[in-house]
Structure 1
């Protein structure tokens, strides 16, 4: 009888040797400097901040000049010498009703919105990065065990094939083993496909063509705990400071600033200037002060003011909606973690894992001694495969649930450096 140890780790394949070791910290550091979407949004933030400076600038004065061509009876182009005519005018627009400050305020709120948009993009992509990283890690753990089982099972099948030819084992036993092998190969292929999908997602987030081997230490998972977290504080924080809520707040403030600006635009601007006229007035070398203002008889910006006022009301409701969504997501994420931890406490899970590994080792030993039948061995073999898949899937789901709470609150609750 062939001795089988289900816990043996086989040498890595050529493809696995090409994997680059990757910790979560290294993945995040690379992500922050390589992700094109983040880089693009950073440029957008700087571009919107530049508009604040633009809004602070005064309008340029305008200058005009008139050069005399004498008269229609005696045209003399640019006749500006003695007896000729020249006229110069300079004009400066003076914005009334605080239009300049209101434009600055509007540009400031748009820059704030751009920053909040960056934070929201970072929040979303960071969760995708971490969840794909955790999925990859636990998929690779499962893949390692399945690959070990396949290698060991292949040795048993080969031994049974030789024994079957000699007639020393039942042919039906060989058929059962080959059926078990095919099923395990299908499981391995499925997990390999899932791992490649996680690899692809990481490559897209990090903008690289490298394949990675996710590496985690016990401390990487131990810090994920609800200890010391107050649900009400998390709800309040999310309702005020989560990036998408801050985006809604910025939209509301922007709409309010625009409403104030539209009301100010109903007040016409003042034009102040100076005029010099060489011979065209009642005296030579005339200088004068020029003052002008539009007369708001028909257009008092009524439509824009009404539209801006309604936009403020709309953005206020959008803000309340986003605050409600944020609180609901925090509550659901919090309760999801509580349900997971209540059902599978970490200590109990770890003890069970150790006991199960001991059980499988004993099964392998007893099978090699002929103390259990082939059918019993196959049953334990399948049970172990299912256990490994289920436990790693659970651990990945647990880590992702904590990241959902990070995402829902917009805080780094468990990843403080």
Structure 2
């Protein structure tokens, strides 16, 4: 009996857990929720993280000292009658065995190893900037995709209302045309308009699916549906009020191209120091042992070797490194100038779109459905003509389409401003 109770309790708890998980999955997702899912599972970000780990491995490699070199030479495999008698190596073996052993170690001068480590650290910083750029690009595209889906969904809802209304009118006009109570040309007009709006509806729904598929790939949610997304248009206040007073300073500190240019400049300076250090010859210190090869039967000697910088003083590489520093300085100055122009343009565009949208209604579909229904009633009451009804429908939808496109540009411009700065506002 106790076993049955425990089994029933476990079944209940498991069902409750599954229901809670299902409810969590089916909640209405905002663009912020999609970003969280995107950050947790996007494969392009994982690939960029591997690049950072690879750069860390390069730093570790550059910290290592060069290995010593061991050489065994003058080893005779047989002997002739002229050999001298030597002390045996072990037992009775080795009385005629001759060989030499050399051990050599490279000693780098002028701090070359530390300078290479510093260059590897700057290359890691470049990999981190690549990761930030990948994240920024993907997040920028995700947000714009979400805003585009909002616009297309609002348009699809409006056109769906039109298709429904025109389909009803088409059926009514067909019955009256068959009864010859109206001109059959009116039926053809309403039927042609119905077909045209149905084609427009299918096109919008296809665009919806494309945006939704993109969001699925970003979030790794294959079962994501339109119903799971918070796509209703709502007023978010004036976006220009979110622009900080120190916008230019923020951009200078966070703009990825400027950060990369600064890192490239530091890298060029570090490479110049390394090339200057390469003028100083490295040392090779060695110790050798020779058995039976000289006047001493067991000879131990020390030696040191180095290049003589008579012809090659690394002049070309030093000159190239200096030119790269000047090149990076010029590039950084040009980036700052271009960034100033871009910020000014985006802020002006944002204000322009904001003024154009000021006072416009946010909830479009519901108002349009009500207005269209009233206009259809006037058509049935013969207070407006069929052509006036069709012209009104097309004009209203075109106007709302223009408004939605303007609203999308408004949000996209704000996202582009944040993308240019390099951080959220």
1:376 equivalenced with 2:383 (yes/no): no
1:163-190 deviation digits (Å, cap 9, x = unpaired): 1111222323223312322332333233
Q: How far, CA to CA, are the matches of 2:80 and 2:156 in structure 1?
A: 98
**How far did 1:412 drift?**
1.1
> Paired residue for 1:39?
46
CA contact 1:93–1:270 (8 Å) conserved in 2? yes
Aligned residues of 2:173 and 2:182 also touching (Cα < 8 A): yes
Task: Give the corresponding residue for 2:405.
Answer: 393
* Counterpart selection for 2:239 from 225, 239, 243: 225
**Partner SS for 1:227:** helix
Query: Where does residue 142 of structure 1 map in the other structure?
Result: 155
**CA, structure 1 residues 404+305, in 2 after alignment: closer, same or farther (shift >3 Å)?**
same
Residue number in structure 2 paired with 1:179: 192
Aligned to 2:375: 363
Partner of 2:6: none
CA distances 1:108-132 after superposition (whole Å, capped 9, x unpaired): 1111111111111211121111111
1:124 is matched with which residue?
A: 137
Matched ranges for 1:103-122 at <5 A: 103-122=116-135
Shift, 1:197, TM fit = 3.6
Superposed displacement of residue 385, structure 1: 2.0
Comparing 395-404 with 379-388, greater Cα deviation is found at: 379-388
Structure 2 residue matching 1:28: 3-state secondary structure = helix
Residue ranges of structure 1 left out of the alignment (5+ in a row) = 1-18
- Partner of 1:274, secondary structure, is strand
Q: CA deviation at 1:52?
A: 0.8
Q: 2:36 aligns with which of 20, 29, 39?
A: 29
Match status 1:291 vs 2:298 = no
Task: Give aligned pairs, total.
Answer: 392
2:61 aligned with 1:54: yes
* Alignment correspondent of 1:252: 265
8 Å CA contact 1:235–1:331 kept in 2: the answer is no
Does the 8 Å contact 2:150/2:231 carry over to 1?
A: no
> Given the two structures, how large is their TM-score scaled by the length of structure 1?
0.83
Q: 1:339 pairs with 342, 348, 352, which one? A: 352
Instruction: Tell me the secondary structure at the aligned position of residue 142 of structure 1.
Output: helix
Which of 100, 103, 117 aligns to 1:90? It is: 103
Q: In the alignment, which residue of structure 2 is the partner of 1:195?
A: 208
Q: How far apart in 1 are the matches of 2:363 and 2:205?
A: 28
Instruction: State the 1:46 CA deviation.
Output: 0.9
Q: Equivalences for 1:393-412 in 2 at 5 Å?
A: 393-412=405-424
- What are structure 2's unaligned runs of at least 5 residues? 1-25
Query: Which residue of structure 1 lines up, in the alignment, with residue 71 of structure 2?
Result: 64
Alpha-carbon distance in structure 2 between the residues aligned to 1:250 and 1:160: 72
Partners of 1:312 and 1:212 lie apart in 2 by 52
The CA distance in 1 between the partners of 2:204 and 2:411, in whole Å, is 19
**Separation in 1, partners of 2:140, 2:56:** 27
Highest RCO, 1 vs 2 (Cα 8 Å, sep ≥ 6) = 1
Alignment root-mean-square deviation, CA: 3.1
Cα deviation for residue 352 of structure 1 reads 8.9
> Following the alignment from structure 1 to structure 2, what is the Cα–Cα distance between the partners of residues 216 and 393?
19
What SS does the aligned partner of 1:226 have?
helix
